[in-house]
């Protein structure tokens, strides 16, 4: 069994009356990419803060690359890179200067600093923008710079907090390629996201998080098979008709989910009884996500 880059056991974090993380377990084997999937408020960002000791857990065990947190977190932070959800580049500095600052913060030895900056520039495909100020870059370039900044010290583990939130599809694909490259180089990755496709494409295993807990863990395909079956049936119609279908399904014990414009009956391939008319399609991770994390938006 490979060593674990991250090992969390029974982690609890409370903010006053709110319990943001409520007994969370997580294993991240070295060299793999784990997707932390959950709706807003599920505790993903708090988990990320716990891993850098910017939040201190009330209960539980946290281990990062063999270092116990929070006591030994500084050693852990020295060998991991963090890509924050919020852009916190130094906007008046150039691309190169932003990277230079982080070679110092991450203690890259003087003799290797220049090389580290070059490598990061190539990785982020920003070599020809090296002299541009950060506030002159496009949204996608800034994101790439944020990622490159977290990699100057060749970390063994990278935390990506919602790496593509708010970006258009083209830029998102570009970042996926970058993350995929890291993964193929053997870097361990923990990526929080609420984009299903992102988790599906990049993650070796997915941990679905809801109300501060892991509600499902597994490979994306296995999770779909286990929780949503092979096929789903989409039933369209006016709201009254949708309610009728839902009530009917509940009576028969069929799992359903709302998709806004339709009701989806899950496990449509294995259900007994006469199914209503609708469109059959393959079950997806999104079905699992909505099924497990609830449909209400809190």
Partner 1 sequence: MTPHSGSAHNEVRARLGSPEEGADARTEPRVRRLDRAALQGVLVREVVNFGSFWRSSTFSSTVEPTIYLLAFGFGFGSLVSKVNGLDYVQFVGTGTVATAVLFSSVFPGMFSTFVKYQFQHTYDAILAAPVDTEELVTGEALWIAARAGTYGCVPMLVAMAFGLNPAWGMFVVPVIAFVSGFGWACFGITVAAVMKSIDNFSYVTSTVITPLFLVAGTFFPISNLPQWARIAANVNPLYHCVQLVRHAVFGFQTEDLWHLGFIVVFGLVMWRIAIARMERRLVD
Of residues 72-91, those binding partner 1 (CB under 8 A):
72-75, 77-79, 82, 84, 86, 88, 90-91
The reply on whether position 24 binds partner 1 by CB under 8 A is no
Residue 157 beta carbon to partner 1: minimum distance, rounded to whole angstroms? 12
- The answer to whether the CB of 25 falls within 8 A of the CB of 10 is yes
> How far apart are alpha carbons 31 and 230 in whole angstroms?
30
Torsion angle of alpha carbons 207, 73, 52, 58, nearest 10°? 70
Residue 62 DSSP SS3? strand
Phi, psi dihedrals of residue 126, rounded to the nearest 5°: -120, 15
Nearer Cβ to partner 1 (78/221) = 78
Nearer to partner 1, 158 or 206 (CB): 158
Nearer to partner 1, 24 or 102 (CB): 102
Asked whether position 68 contacts partner 1 by CB under 8 A, the answer is yes
**Nearest CA-CA partner of 271 in 288, 289, 256, 286:** 256
Q: Which of 19, 97, 259, 284 binds partner 1 (CB under 8 A)?
A: 97
From residue 174, give the alpha-carbon distance in Å to each of 69, 163, 182: 34, 11, 13
Alpha-carbon distance of 150 to 91, in angstroms, equals 16
Residue 275 CB, shortest distance to partner 1, in Å, is: 49
Beta carbons of 194 and 39 less than 8 angstroms apart: yes
Residue 19 in contact with partner 1, rule: CB under 8 A: no
Element (H, E) at 198: helix 196-202
Q: Which is nearer to partner 1, 97 or 284 (CB)?
A: 97
Torsion angle of C-alpha atoms 38, 39, 42, 43, degrees rounded to 10:
70
Compute the least distance from the CB of residue 89 to partner 1, in Å: 8
Choose, by CB under 8 A, the member of 66, 139, 166, 186 that binds partner 1. 66
Q: Could you say whether residue 116 binds partner 1 (CB under 8 A)?
A: no
What string marks each residue from 137 to 176 as x (binds partner 1 by CB under 8 A) or -? ------------x---------------------------
Among 12, 101, 167, 217, binds partner 1 (CB under 8 A): 101
Residue closer to partner 1 by CB (options 49, 194) is 49
Are the C-beta atoms of residues 225 and 288 closer than 8 Å to each other? no
3 interacts with partner 1 by CB under 8 A: no
Query: CB 13 → partner 1: shortest distance, Å?
Result: 8
The backbone torsions φ and ψ at residue 153, rounded to the nearest 5 degrees and listed phi first, read -100, 20
CA–CA separation, 233 and 255 (whole Å): 11
Q: Is residue 67 part of the contact set for partner 1 (CB under 8 A)?
A: yes
Minimum gap (Å) between residue 203 Cβ and partner 1: 22
- Any contact of residue 124 with partner 1 (CB under 8 A)? no
């Amino acid at each position: 069994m490979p060593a674990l880059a991250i090992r969390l056991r029974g982690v609890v974090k409370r903010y006053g009356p709110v319990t943001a993380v409520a007994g969370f377990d997580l294993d991240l084997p070295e060299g793999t990419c784990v997707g932390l999937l959950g709706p807003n408020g599920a505790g993903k960002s708090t988990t990320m803060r716990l891993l850098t000791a910017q939040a201190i857990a009330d209960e539980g065990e946290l281990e990062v690359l063999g270092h116990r947190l929070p006591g030994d977190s500084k050693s852990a932070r020295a060998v991991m890179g963090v890509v924050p959800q919020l852009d916190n580049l130094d906007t008046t500095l150039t691309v190169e200067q932003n990277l230079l600052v982080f070679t110092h913060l991450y203690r890259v030895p003087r003799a290797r600093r220049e090389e580290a900056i070059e490598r990061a520039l190539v990785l982020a495909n920003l070599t020809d923008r090296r002299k541009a100020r950060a506030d002159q870059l496009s949204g996608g370039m800034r994101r790439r710079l944020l990622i490159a900044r977290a990699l100057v010290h060749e970390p063994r583990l990278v935390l990506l907090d919602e790496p593509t939130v708010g970006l258009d599809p083209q830029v998102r694909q570009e970042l996926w390629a970058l993350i995929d490259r890291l993964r193929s180089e053997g870097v361990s990755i923990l990526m929080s996201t609420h984009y299903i496709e992102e988790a599906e494409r990049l993650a070796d295993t997915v941990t679905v998080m809801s109300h501060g807990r892991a509600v499902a863990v597994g490979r994306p395909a296995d999770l779909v098979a286990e929780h949503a079956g092979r096929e789903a049936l989409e039933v369209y119609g006016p709201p009254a008709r949708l309610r009728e279908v839902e009530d009917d399904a509940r009576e028969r014990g069929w799992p359903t989910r709302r998709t806004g414009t339709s009701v989806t009956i899950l496990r449509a391939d294995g259900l007994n009884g006469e199914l209503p008319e609708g469109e059959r399609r393959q079950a997806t991770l999104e079905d699992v996500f909505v099924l497990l994390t609830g449909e209400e938006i809190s």
